[in-house]
Structure 1
Amino acid sequence: MLAAALVLAAGGSRRLAQPKQLLDWQGRPLLEGVVGAVARWPVAGVVVVLGAHAEEILDRVDFGGATVVLNPEWEEGLAASLRVGLDLLSRHPRYEAAFVALGDQPEIPAEVPSALLGAAEETGRPAVVPRYRYQRGNPALVARRLWARLMSLEGDAGAGSLWRAHPAWVHEVRFDHPAPVDIDTPADFQKLLRRP
């Protein structure tokens, strides 16, 4: 199964009072660390969706070989970024699935993407998600046949709302890791920095 990765990084970081994409994470911008990690996943391409602070982010982040696309409607919420990113990926018929990742989660365990891909190939389910100890998390691996459904979401609804409505579509892969920290507040970032 040939997959691409979609990194959603268009948010305005309202609760942080600064672009979280540019927070200093291990000596480089947080988003640069995320994109670098995602590029090592079993993917044939990486697309990053930017919105708020795009000019500053483009000036300071090394995206490597990733394709960057701008979401002019980023204020509409996560669903708008899904539409922009999946629209771009859908123009490439070779991609059979896409990992949907968040640009503020730099600590996805290295084995997760390969395990999700293997489970998708084994089960044939169109959505494969990680379960970290007691909760679902990211990235989700979504088969092309569900992309139109994801593109129909609105507002800040992510894929989780679709998975709750159609549980038979979803296969969970369990991992004995804490859920990756999602950086929304200064306290979240401090929690990330304190992790061993």
Structure 2
Amino acid sequence: MKHSGLQGLLLAAGASTRLGQPKQIVIYQGLSLITRQTRLLLKQCQYVTIVLGANADLCRRTLEAELLDHELAAIELIENQNWATGLGSSIAFGAAHFDRTYRGILLLLVDQWQLTDQHLRHFVKHWHACAYVKPSNICIASMQQEKLVTGPPVIFSEQFIDELSQFNASDGAKSLIKRYSEQVFDYPIPQAFTDLDTAEQLQVLRASDS
């Protein structure tokens, strides 16, 4: 859906301290996670900005080795020197590189390995449908547990980008989403809440890939 009107934003700056190895280059389905997630975004977005931090050179080399030339031409690699201060820093840094020709940002994390093309395609369609109700909106993935849990992927309409670019909190964009709760629409994607932070989670990933 290259006509989605969205710019992709992939957050891949973390040090993977608990995992003990760079999660960005963990192999799943024959590709590093950073390449896999980049391609997921390129299926929906004409242009993707990737925020690097820890292991930046390794991530660059991996993408250059795995992506095709036309894919490399559609991405921008930016390095957040303040990545260690928290996710909010990388969100702000990425939002500051927003191209105003797009209608919003589709934000994804590098370790959301259970997400598929179909998930993102339906998610973007949901955002378009919500835009008819509230043109300025935030669309966020959700999962029902004892209470509703929300998180990336997230689509921020262009009206929120300036505020995102000034963000410096360590809690990602939670405070902004709470502030504009009446403009937030959730969409159920339970798979979005499987990530990769520990050795045990890595075992689950590898078992599913066998």
TM-score, normalised to structure 2, is 0.82
Match of 1:78 among 87, 104, 129: 87
Please state how far the C-alpha of 1:117 moved relative to its aligned partner: 2.8
The runs of 5 or more residues in structure 1 that have no matched partner are none
Match of 1:174 among 176, 185, 188: 188
In the aligned structure 2, how far is the partner of 1:169 from the partner of 1:24?
A: 37
Amino acid at match of 2:175: S
3-state DSSP class of the match of 1:39? helix
Amino acid at match of 1:120: C
Compared with structure 1, are the counterparts of its residues 169 and 14 closer, same or farther at alpha carbon in structure 2 (3 Å cutoff)?
same
Question: Identity over aligned residues, as a percent?
Answer: 24
In the aligned structure 2, how far is the partner of 1:20 from the partner of 1:189?
A: 9
In the aligned structure 1, how far is the partner of 2:129 from the partner of 2:143?
A: 16
Q: RMSD of the TM alignment (CA)?
A: 2.0
In the aligned structure 2, how far is the partner of 1:119 from the partner of 1:137?
A: 19
In the alignment of these two chains, the number of paired residues is 192
Please state how far the C-alpha of 1:147 moved relative to its aligned partner: 1.4
In the aligned structure 2, how far is the partner of 1:116 from the partner of 1:22?
A: 31
In the aligned structure 2, how far is the partner of 1:153 from the partner of 1:86?
A: 9
Match of 1:67 among 65, 76, 89: 76
3-state DSSP class of the match of 1:139? strand
Amino acid at match of 1:86: A
Amino acid at match of 2:143: Y
3-state DSSP class of the match of 1:137? strand
Farther off after superposition, 70-79 or 112-121: 112-121
Give 1:1-40 correspondences, 5 Å limit: 2-40=5-43
Establish whether residue 98 from structure 1 lines up as the match of residue 96 from structure 2.
no
Amino acid at match of 1:149: E
In the aligned structure 1, how far is the partner of 2:177 from the partner of 2:155?
A: 12
Amino acid at match of 1:193: R
The residue that corresponds to 2:174 in the other structure is 160
Please state how far the C-alpha of 1:36 moved relative to its aligned partner: 1.2
Match of 2:156 among 119, 125, 142: 142
In the aligned structure 1, how far is the partner of 2:126 from the partner of 2:105?
A: 11
Greater share of helix: 2
The residue that corresponds to 1:189 in the other structure is 202
In the aligned structure 2, how far is the partner of 1:162 from the partner of 1:172?
A: 15
3-state DSSP class of the match of 1:6? strand
3-state DSSP class of the match of 1:16? coil
Please state how far the C-alpha of 1:128 moved relative to its aligned partner: 0.8
In the aligned structure 2, how far is the partner of 1:194 from the partner of 1:137?
A: 25
The runs of 5 or more residues in structure 2 that have no matched partner are none
